[in-house]
Every structure is written in structure tokens, then in C-alpha cells.
Structure 1
Amino acid sequence: MNKTVMRAGWSRGVTELRQSFTNGGDLFNHFFWPVLMLVVLFLMRDVSFGDGEFELGTLVLPGILGMNAAMAMVTMSQLLTADREDGTLLRAKATPHGTPAYLVGKIISVSVGVVVDLAIFLIPALFIIPGLRVGSSEAWLTLGWVLVLGLVATLPIGAVLGSLFSSTRSQGLLTLPIMAMIGISGIFYPVTSMPEWVQGLAQVFPVYWLGLGMRSALLPDSAVIVEIGDAWRHLETVGVLSVWAVVGLVLAPIVLRRMARRESGSTMAERREKALQRVG
């Protein structure tokens, strides 16, 4: 990817971020989920897990961070579908290096948006939940590389998913499988309390590994006993997330180019006509 594409993508991403943080609806979305998760965390703060050695809220907080990072792929999918529907992607296609610059810009804007959302959640959560390993530079370093690798693993997959839908109405089809994936990934309750076949299935998807990586960063070493194999498994975390990243980075440009080639004024007009018929 050349410097021209990167500069164009960076400019596009910064513009989208500026618009996102000055739009009332987008600001509501930035605060709604973090505040909702804070309420969930507050209700869990005094609930014990197992023999009472650990508070459930302490175990859940890092998992929520991982879940929100993984949900960036849903955000990417929704935004790409919306841009396809309203003609933004078609206009990008018409400019030199438009499609790759569009993808770079979208990755930048969604990534920074996710980091802001996580900060809105994490900063007040530190005052609600005790016992987190927040005084260690190693903890924050681990948190950083897990987040970066997790976003690289999930955002391209989100772009691939977004290319499969022709309208935002059909994005609802993603909700059930995504919620099921979150449900089995040990976000709200340790995965070791689930059947072994569920544990195996959870380890296929990036949400589990993001949650595990976040827990390894923020929880005390004694908390490892609730994990599979009584280990944080950093090497496995890097391996699985890297596989997802490679698959996404290979597939996303190919899929987007093919999708962009199929976009035209006539296909947009046809989609608009169908939408008007549904409304009518």
C-alpha cells in the first residue's frame, strides 16, 4: 500500500472522526454502551465466583474490554454496508486509489472510536472494581498489544462481513451469531464453567482470546486458576489473533475490490427503488 493511499486514508479517517465526535447521534452511541456496561459491572461488583476468592465483577471487567474491541468488526460491517447503500463507496471508487484509501480511513476512524469507547468505560470502572493490576507498566503494555492485535484481527473481518450485505436492514442477521459468540466466550462468566465442547468452540473465535488477553493484563496472577489450563497462554493468543488478522487482511481488499466493481449508479437506483417499495 503506497504513501498516497495512506495519506488519503489518514485524511479520510480524521475527517470521519471529527464528524463522529461532533454529531449528537454518534456521541450518544459512544456513551451508551460504555455506560450500560458500567451499570452491569456495578451490579456484579459484590458477586463472588466459585469459593468466593474472586469477585465476578473483577473477572468480567477485562472481558468486557475484549468484547467491545471485538465488536468493532460489527461496527465496521454496519458502516461499510451503510456507505455502500448511500453511494459513499461508489464515490470512493470513482477517485484514484479510492477503495483502498476508503478502507484505511475506515480502519483509522473505527479503531480510534473503539479506543475512546474503551476509555469511557475503563476509567470510571477502575473506581468501581478493586483488585485490578493497574499500577504495573507491564499490565498496560500487555493491554496495548492485545488491543492492537485484536483490532487488526477483527476490523478486516468486519469489512468482509459488511460486503455480504446490500442494505442496513439485513445487518440484523449478524446480531444472533455475534451474541452467541459472545455468550460462549467467557465474557460474563469464566469459560471453564462451561462444557468442554463449548470451551473448544469458543477458542476458535477472536472474542475469547481478546478477553483472555485483557484478563492477563489486568487481573492478578492468582486469577489464572479460572482459565483453561491454569495459564494466560500469551503465545496462543498471539497465534490465534494473528491467524484471524492474516485471513482478514488477505480477504478484505479482494472482497472490497470485487464489491466496488459491482457498484454502479444503476445498482444504487435499483436498491433505492426497492427500499421505497418496502416503505410504500
Structure 2
Amino acid sequence: MNTLRLAWDRTILELKMYARERDMVIFSFLFPVIMLAIFGVVFGSEIDAGEKAQGMNAARVFLPGMIAAGVLLTSFQTLAMSVAIERDDGTLKRLRGTPLPPVAYFLGKVGLVLITALAQLALLLVVARFVFDVRMPTEPAAWLHFAAFFVVGVVGGTTLGVAYSSLANPRSVTAVVVGPLLVLQFISGVYFTFGALPSWLQQIAAVFPLKWIAQGMRSVFYPASWAGQEMTGTWEVGRTLLVLAVWAVSGLVLCLRTFRWTRDS
């Protein structure tokens, strides 16, 4: 119980530090919401009559990708950058020398990710529903799938972010973390309709988790007829969950093998 209390205190501290970093708040928390609003306005007139008849509008087209990108921005990007900085400036070394249990530190990071990811998700859904009149799923099964994709995606992004932090330092963190993630957003169906991408780009995107999170979210928010635009012509719900679970477990294994409290001398 004492460890849990310390973990909660650490979570509150992490949230306060996160809120003070304006660039982090804008480019990880608010960025998907801003992009959804921009795309919803700019491309609103490009939806044809057939798509409108299926309840599609521009915001609904882009919503799954923005949710998927938000999952990795609030988990992978946030932790990869913050842990790398804390390791470099000696914060982790000092924490290791205090009575704070290591598990409380990591639970604090998990708490930060969960709270920011859920808050961002709620904001995206509210903007989509009440600003752009996006039709929400009505079947309970769709929301169960949505919850599963979201949770497994956040877990995977969290473990992979901590593991990836070993590759970054404050001088290279933007290039090493933000750069590759930005490229993945362009090839994973976040900013473009996935079916419109060349097949070789789709194959590359399929190696990484962002494509699978986005595909899972598309299966929730898109009409069934749109499944034909996927690589296999189906939503592959089971396979999507399996791939994301494998990434989450792989991230945990990498964390255990590569995490260090001090920077290399």
C-alpha cells in the first residue's frame, strides 16, 4: 500500500511536470486534436455523395488515425523523451539513491500515460461528435474492440517508449524519437487513407504497431464496407490484437534488458 501511495504521488508530480512543458503538451497531447480539426474543415467538401450516404465525413475518415497517433504520442513519444532527459541530467541516478521504490517510479510514468491518453481520447471524441457530427458506433462489441485496441496500444507504446529511451539523449532526442514517429504517421494511415498508399509502403508500415492501432480503430469507426481498403480486405480484429500484444511483450522484454539508471560515461 505504501508503494501504491508513493506511485500515486509520483503520478501527480509527473502530471505537473508534463503540464509545465508547453512543447510536450502541444505536440503530444493537443496535436492530434488540432490536426483532426484542420482536416475536418479543409477536406470536408471532398467527401462524395456515396460516402456521405454511409455516414462518412472528413472528420470520421481521419478520427481513427488521430486516435492511433495520439496513443503513441502520449505513451511512446512522451516516455522516450522524458526518460532519456531524466537519465542524462542525473534525475534517475538521484532517484535510484532515494528510498523511492523503482516500481513506484515506473508506476508514476504509467499513471502519467494513462491519464493523458484518456484525457486526449475524451477530447478527440468530444470534438469529433459535437463539432463535426461524427457518427459513433452503437454496437457494444465495437466499443469492446475499441477498448482492447486502446489498452494494448497504450501498454505497447509505454513499454517501447521506455526501452527506446536508451537510444536517445537530449541532443538527439528530437531526431531519434520524433522523426521516425512522424514518418510512421504518414505511412500508417494517419494522414492518408491507408488503401491509397502504395503496397510497398503498406508492407513497411505493417512491421510497426502504429499501422495496427490505426487499423483497429478504423474497424470501430468505419462502415463494414470500408474493410476492402485494408491489405487483406478484412479488419483482422484478432490478428491486430495479437500483433499489438506481441509488440507490448517485446517492449517489456527490451525494457528489462536495456533500461539503465545512469547514462553511459
* SS of residue in 2 equivalent to 1:228: coil
Establish whether residue 202 from structure 1 lines up as the match of residue 168 from structure 2: no
Q: 1:132 Cα shift?
A: 2.6
User: Structure 1 residues 133, 220: CA separation in 2 closer, same or farther (over 3 Å shift)?
Assistant: farther
User: Which amino acid is the alignment partner of residue 42 of structure 2?
Assistant: L
User: Which amino acid is the alignment partner of residue 25 of structure 1?
Assistant: R
Partner of 2:60: 58
Establish whether residue 95 from structure 1 lines up as the match of residue 94 from structure 2: no
Percent identity of equivalent pairs: 28
* SS of residue in 1 equivalent to 2:232: helix
Partner of 1:10: 8
* SS of residue in 1 equivalent to 2:121: helix
User: Which amino acid is the alignment partner of residue 59 of structure 1?
Assistant: V
Q: 1:82 Cα shift?
A: 2.1
What are the within-5 Å matches in structure 2 for residues 107-256 of structure 1? 107-130=110-133, 132-166=135-169, 168-174=170-176, 175-256=178-259
Higher deviation after alignment, 35-44 or 111-120: 35-44
Partner of 2:45: 46
User: Which amino acid is the alignment partner of residue 101 of structure 1?
Assistant: A
Partner Cα distance (1:184, 1:242) in 2: 21
Unpaired segments ≥5 residues, structure 2: none
1:56-92 CA-to-partner distances (Å, cap 9, x unmatched) read 4322111110111122201111111222233321122
* SS of residue in 1 equivalent to 2:173: helix
User: Structure 1 residues 254, 96: CA separation in 2 closer, same or farther (over 3 Å shift)?
Assistant: farther
TM-score (norm 1): 0.81
Q: 1:160 Cα shift?
A: 1.3
Unpaired segments ≥5 residues, structure 1: 268-280
Partner Cα distance (2:84, 2:13) in 1: 19
Paired residues of 1:38 and 1:121 also in contact (CA < 8 A): no
1:119-165 CA-to-partner distances (Å, cap 9, x unmatched) read 22220111344453333333322221111000111111111111222
Q: Which has the larger radius of gyration?
A: 1
* SS of residue in 1 equivalent to 2:164: helix
1:204-263 CA-to-partner distances (Å, cap 9, x unmatched) read 11111111111111222222222222211111111110111011111113322xx21x45
User: Structure 1 residues 134, 202: CA separation in 2 closer, same or farther (over 3 Å shift)?
Assistant: same
Paired residues of 2:3 and 2:104 also in contact (CA < 8 A): yes
User: Structure 1 residues 198, 171: CA separation in 2 closer, same or farther (over 3 Å shift)?
Assistant: same
TM-score (norm 2): 0.85
Paired residues of 1:140 and 1:217 also in contact (CA < 8 A): yes
* SS of residue in 2 equivalent to 1:65: helix
1:70 to 69, 72, 77: 72
Paired residues of 1:69 and 1:150 also in contact (CA < 8 A): yes
Higher deviation after alignment, 168-177 or 65-74: 168-177
Root-mean-square deviation (CA, aligned residues, Å) is 2.7
Establish whether residue 105 from structure 1 lines up as the match of residue 103 from structure 2: no
User: Structure 1 residues 56, 25: CA separation in 2 closer, same or farther (over 3 Å shift)?
Assistant: closer
Partner Cα distance (1:27, 1:182) in 2: 18
User: Structure 1 residues 161, 27: CA separation in 2 closer, same or farther (over 3 Å shift)?
Assistant: closer
Paired residues of 1:139 and 1:217 also in contact (CA < 8 A): yes
